[in-house]
Amino acid sequence: MRIYDYIVVGSGSGGAAVAARLAEDPSVDVLLLEAGGTDARLEVRAPAAFANQFHTKIDWDYYTLPEPGAGGRRIYQPRGKMLGGSSSMNAMLWMRGSASDYDGWNLPGWSWADVKPAFLRIEDHFLNDGEHGRGGPMKVRRHEHYDPMSELFVTAAAKSAVHQSEDVSGPDMEGVSISPVSVERSRRWSTARGYLDAARKRKNFTLQTRSLTRRVLFDGTQAVGVEYERRGRVMSARARREVILSAGAFGTPHLLQLSGIGERAHLASIGIECLVDNAHVGAHLAEHPLTLLNFELQPGYVGMFDAKNPKYLAQWLFGRRGKLSSNLAEAVAHVKTLPDLRDPDFQFLFGPMFFWENGAEHTAPCAVIGQSYWTPASRGWVRAATSDPRQLPDVQLNMFVERADVDAMIRAVRLAREIAATAPLADIIKTEVTPGAAVQTDAELEDWVRNHGEHTYHPSCTARMGAEGEGVLDERLRVRGVTGLRVADTSALPQITHANTNAPAILVGERCAEFIRSGE
């Protein structure tokens, strides 16, 4: 059994950040365990190919239980199972979240004034304006090889819904622009690149892939290590100081429950002895619901329709340009669908292609406007189905169970249609494919939302920070009821942010390392 100072479980957005930052201290030894393998794959490195990762061995391939508010559908939830985790699978949009997100948490150390210095430390941002970081591990670039149609969306949205802005990444979020993305020279820039490439050169840093963590080991209520499975063998590693779980919004509460931290009655039902009785573990699951308006284009407009042509692969391989450089969500508009809102409640995503059911194809060139709802009221849960760590936990999003969420989606669809009907975007649109011109009334739109609504791949809040009795973690990311155990991923968020969740997840990892190194 090897002994380390710190053991980090999961190499995704939060885990890579906390592990790499801890390893900057040469006096400590850090072990990073990753259940998946390498990220050295074309569908990871080429931005436009990310949907080709779905349902493969680098995808955890979650499905929810039948969703009561969404037509009884079992909804697919991809999660990255490789170095970089879901930062190696996402659409690479870089959004910090609004100042009111962090101020609204009312947690010491998490106000906008507290977290802004960490974002500055994280970023190597294209905006050299003093409000964004320069020289940090995460490269953020203005999308370079976007389709001209994306500019038409920006212009139309600026005419009909929201002002044009160079900065849609915070602190107030409002505006429309070509997307800021975590891409460098037309290649995905995940936390595997930003953090782990440098960390792996350090002698005090150990990375083990294909290592499925089974549970946290305790001596009384002190976390002392982890048990994991690698190459068919069950093994253990000891931690002198702390264990940090960064297995994601599904994996982290699952591991806590397998380790005896969760609701006592639930743990007893699957044969696990309860160490800490806390019903908040796995509760409060939040996700950004998403609907997708697809439009066939007028003749002469192609977009990404022919992106599988081998010439575009050659362009990307040898020139780092062309259609495979696209992150698909090439432009974003952050809009308010009600006039009295403080912050935008929706992110509209524009792409020069057909996007439906996580990558289905259409017979003609299309463009898509997605409506991602940032402030949903519906909450779900994650629960271990059995005591077997190899079996994925049950997930229930409970998407659209709150009536207000459906009403918001209907407002957003109508606003997106207004943008699509505004020149110059209107000039290139031939017809609406989804939901189609026949779907007009509130009742028709509600039926369409419930039966075809998806999500934005942003699960959060399942091991949230909060006051005693209101969450799983304290404000320093320590698991309540035990010592030597912290969480650093989106499960720790008290509320889901007005943002794509990659940057907030990295923030949590950075802050976790900061707390540990300062003795907090």
Cα(154)–Cα(161) distance, rounded to whole angstroms? 10
Give yes or no for a contact between 164 and 174, defined as CB atoms under 8 angstroms apart: no
CA angle 453, 457, 463 (to 5 degrees): 115
Cα(46)–Cα(439) distance, rounded to whole angstroms? 36
- From the list 145, 254, 334, 458, the catalytic residue is 458
Token pair 């149609």: residue? 149
Backbone angles phi, psi at 354, to 5 degrees: -85, 125
Tell me whether residue 163 is one of the annotated catalytic residues: no
Cα(180)–Cα(125) distance, rounded to whole angstroms? 9
Give yes or no for a contact between 430 and 366, defined as CB atoms under 8 angstroms apart: no
Backbone angles phi, psi at 380, to 5 degrees: -120, -155
Cα(450)–Cα(434) distance, rounded to whole angstroms? 14
Compute CA 200 distance to the chain's CA centroid, rounded to the nearest angstrom.
24
Give yes or no for a contact between 150 and 330, defined as CB atoms under 8 angstroms apart: yes
- CA torsion sign, 182 to 186 to 192 to 197? negative
Alpha carbon distances (Å) from 337 to 92, 184, 404, 411, 435: 25, 34, 13, 6, 19
Give yes or no for a contact between 139 and 180, defined as CB atoms under 8 angstroms apart: no
- Which tokens sit at 163? 């002002």
Give the list of residues 6+ apart from residue 480 with CB closer than 8 angstroms, or none: 276, 278, 468, 471, 472, 473, 474
Give the list of residues 6+ apart from residue 51 with CB closer than 8 angstroms, or none: 328, 358, 359
Cα pseudo-dihedral 24, 25, 28, 29, rounded to 10: 10
What does DSSP say about strands 289-297 and 175-178: parallel, antiparallel, or unpaired? unpaired
3-state helix, strand, coil in the chain (%, to 5): 30, 25, 45
Burial class of 100 by CB neighbour count within 10 A (0 to 12, 13 to 18, 19+): middle
Catalytic residues: 458
